[in-house]
């Protein structure tokens, strides 16, 4: 059965906080622009509070500002506002999760230093994820969840205070030692489900017009790899690097897509701005997070990017970690897809949590063009050592590109697929994961060698050697005018691949 396309991947359309609130600043809620986050959205419905939804009281004052309270009665999910909507994030691979409010963009914090009846009150006021923002999820036998927070008195269950008087009625505090009705919550999914069939994409213009355009894919290594210079950089610096690789202004104007891997949610808007400055035209940067399955649950949380800055200059949130797809603002449809990924398991004596990978597609109906980008699992012991999941991911990408797409679209797809070509001279294995892609379409760098036609120049340096794991595929009926792979990773650890296609 076809996998359902999860989430409309959204444009991160606001800048993140510049100043982070430390745990000691419990009396102030940092005012900052509210980001539109690209992760799955949920509502919390209290069992003990007779099914009331939990709201973030952004209009309250003082130390009550942005407190969480079970107060909203709603007959349908359409009645919920941003105050009842949260996204799930994790900065420890799913051992814990962090709630982020859609109302003010802040992470939910347990106020460990409050006293009396507001001790361990939950408030949406954190601008970075620290210990006070972490919650353990415990799925109950009735499919509800208990939320467990670390307090100054040890772990405590979050309780809806349904018997507190006045405006304290229903407020959420971490103070329970066991799970009863007051400690049970339904985690109600709110994210849109988009059927992965022909009807989901708008019809392309017919007949399809001639098209001559450029595409780039680049793993920017801008998250957790401290050996990359891009490790903690912010969006403007990445945007400058991307714009510089697009060549002259004339060449840059010919681009119709840039596939981006290992970027952060907060990078999207700044990269978009730099592309617009380079080309003089409008761009959208779509973002989709990579996730982890949260321990003791059946839900996934978006992986949090390493913070920008430093201890000396102050840490700055960069939101979720994932992939991006930059397209002209004539783009009217886009979505992301969960790719089959390795599941958490015990390796030796260690419980290993696995990244849940994603793909993202966008279409330009007026030009009958579609672009799809992905970042496959790595061939590491703690990821996909035998290649079995990457084989499934390659099959799913083929299904997305071909079976899900309306006739008339010409698709360019690729990204960091973490797999060597079928005819590679490298001793790495397996080497057959991309066979179906080469059979169906044309890779921009194939055919350079008559003895190894399904091969190409290396895109990933590895010490004393290098391999090809980054790709750009287009329809076999089209023409690859040029394919450029310059052995210069810049501040990343991958070489960008740039192609010019003619349809």
Sign of CA dihedral 60, 62, 67, 70: negative
Q: Is the distance from CB of 396 to CB of 359 less than 8 angstroms?
A: yes
The three-class DSSP label of residue 451 is coil
Question: What's the predicted TM-score (pTM) here?
Answer: 0.90
Q: Is the pLDDT assigned to residue 11 strictly greater than 80?
A: no
Task: Report the C-alpha gap between 301 and 299 in whole angstroms.
Answer: 7
- In percent, how much of the chain has pLDDT > 70? 91
Per-residue tokens: 208: 């399809």
5 falls in which pLDDT band (50, 70, 90)? Answer: very low
Q: Which of 211, 279, 287 is nearest to 242 (CA)?
A: 279
Taking only the tens place, the pLDDT of each residue in 358-377 is 999 999 999 999 999 999 99
Q: Is 99 left (phi over 0), alpha (psi -120 to 50) or beta?
A: beta
Q: Are strands 350-352 and 345-347 parallel, antiparallel or unpaired?
A: antiparallel
Domains 23-189 and 210-502 share a fold: no
Taking only the tens place, the pLDDT of each residue in 173-209 is 999 999 999 999 999 999 743 222 334 789 999 999 9
Place of tokens 């017919």: 206
Taking only the tens place, the pLDDT of each residue in 219-264 is 999 988 889 999 999 999 999 999 999 999 999 999 999 999 999 9
The three-class DSSP label of residue 437 is helix
Q: Is the pLDDT assigned to residue 326 strictly greater than 80?
A: yes
Q: Which of 267, 411, 272, 260 is nearest to 329 (CA)?
A: 272
Query: What per-residue confidence (pLDDT) applies to 37?
Result: 53
Top-level class of domain 210-502: alpha beta
Q: What is the mean pLDDT of the chain?
A: 90
Top-level class of domain 23-189: mainly beta
Taking only the tens place, the pLDDT of each residue in 402-411 is 999 999 999 9
Report, as an integer, the average pLDDT of 269-285: 97
29 falls in which pLDDT band (50, 70, 90)? Answer: low
Query: What per-residue confidence (pLDDT) applies to 34?
Result: 44
Task: Report the C-alpha gap between 19 and 192 in whole angstroms.
Answer: 32
Q: Is the distance from CB of 235 to CB of 270 less than 8 angstroms?
A: yes
Burial of residue 476 (number of CB atoms within 10 Å: 0-12, 13-18, 19+): exposed
- In the chain, domain spans: 23-189, 210-502
Query: What per-residue confidence (pLDDT) applies to 391?
Result: 97
Q: Is the distance from CB of 110 to CB of 150 less than 8 angstroms?
A: yes
Taking only the tens place, the pLDDT of each residue in 328-355 is 999 989 999 999 999 999 988 999 999 9
H/E run at residue 228: none
Q: Which of 470, 361, 471, 367 is nearest to 410 (CA)?
A: 367
Taking only the tens place, the pLDDT of each residue in 147-156 is 999 999 999 9
Query: What per-residue confidence (pLDDT) applies to 23?
Result: 32
Q: Is the distance from CB of 282 to CB of 273 less than 8 angstroms?
A: no
Report, as an integer, the average pLDDT of 72-83: 95
Place of tokens 């060597």: 420
């Amino acid at each position: 059965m076809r996998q359902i396309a999860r989430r409309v991947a959204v444009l991160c359309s606001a800048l993140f906080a510049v100043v982070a609130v430390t745990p000691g600043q419990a009396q102030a809620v940092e005012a900052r622009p509210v980001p539109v986050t690209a992760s799955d959205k949920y509502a919390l419905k209290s069992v003990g509070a007779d099914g009331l939804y939990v709201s973030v009281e952004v209009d309250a004052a003082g130390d009550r500002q942005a407190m969480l309270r079970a107060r909203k009665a709603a007959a349908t999910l359409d009645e919920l506002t941003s105050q009842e909507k949260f996204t799930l994030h994790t900065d420890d691979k799913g051992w814990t999760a962090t709630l982020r409010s859609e109302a003010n963009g802040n992470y939910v914090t347990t106020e460990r230093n409050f006293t009396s009846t507001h001790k361990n009150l939950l408030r949406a006021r954190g601008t970075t994820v620290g210990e006070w923002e972490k919650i353990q999820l415990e799925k109950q036998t009735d499919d509800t969840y208990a939320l467990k927070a670390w307090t100054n008195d040890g772990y405590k269950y979050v309780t809806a205070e349904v018997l507190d008087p006045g405006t304290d009625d229903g407020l959420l505090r971490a103070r329970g030692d066991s799970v009863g009705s007051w400690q049970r919550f339904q985690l109600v999914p709110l994210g849109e489900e988009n059927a992965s069939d022909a009807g989901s994409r708008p019809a392309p213009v017919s007949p399809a017009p001639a098209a001559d355009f450029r595409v780039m894919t680049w793993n920017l290594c801008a998250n957790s790899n401290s050996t990359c210079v891009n490790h903690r950089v912010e969006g403007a610096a990445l945007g400058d690097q991307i714009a510089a690789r697009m060549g002259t202004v004339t060449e840059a104007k010919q681009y119709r897509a840039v596939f981006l891997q290992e970027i952060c949610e907060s990078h999207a808007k700044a990269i978009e701005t730099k592309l617009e400055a380079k080309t003089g035209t409008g761009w959208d940067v779509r973002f989709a997070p990579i996730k982890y399955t949260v321990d003791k649950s059946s839900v996934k949380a978006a992986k949090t990017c390493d913070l920008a800055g430093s201890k000396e200059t102050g840490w700055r949130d960069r939101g979720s970690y994932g992939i991006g797809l930059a397209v002209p603002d004539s783009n009217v449809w886009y979505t992301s897809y969960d790719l089959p990924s390795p599941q958490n398991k015990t390796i030796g004596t260690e419980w290993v949590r696995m990244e849940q990978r994603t793909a993202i597609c966008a279409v330009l109906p007026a030009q009958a063009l579609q672009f799809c980008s992905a970042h496959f699992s790595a061939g590491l012991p703690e990821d996909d050592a035998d290649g079995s999941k990457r084989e499934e991911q390659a099959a799913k990408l083929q299904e997305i590109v071909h079976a899900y797409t309306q006739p008339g679209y010409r698709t360019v797809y690729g990204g960091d697929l973490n797999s060597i070509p079928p005819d590679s001279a490298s001793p790495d294995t397996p080497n057959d994961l991309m066979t179906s892609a080469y059979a169906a379409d044309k890779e921009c760098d194939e055919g350079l060698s008559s003895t190894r036609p399904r091969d190409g120049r290396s895109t990933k340096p590895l010490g004393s050697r290098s391999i090809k794991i980054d790709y750009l595929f287009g329809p076999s009926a089209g023409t690859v005018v040029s394919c450029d792979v310059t052995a210069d990773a810049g501040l990343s650890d991958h070489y960008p691949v740039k192609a010019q296609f003619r349809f």
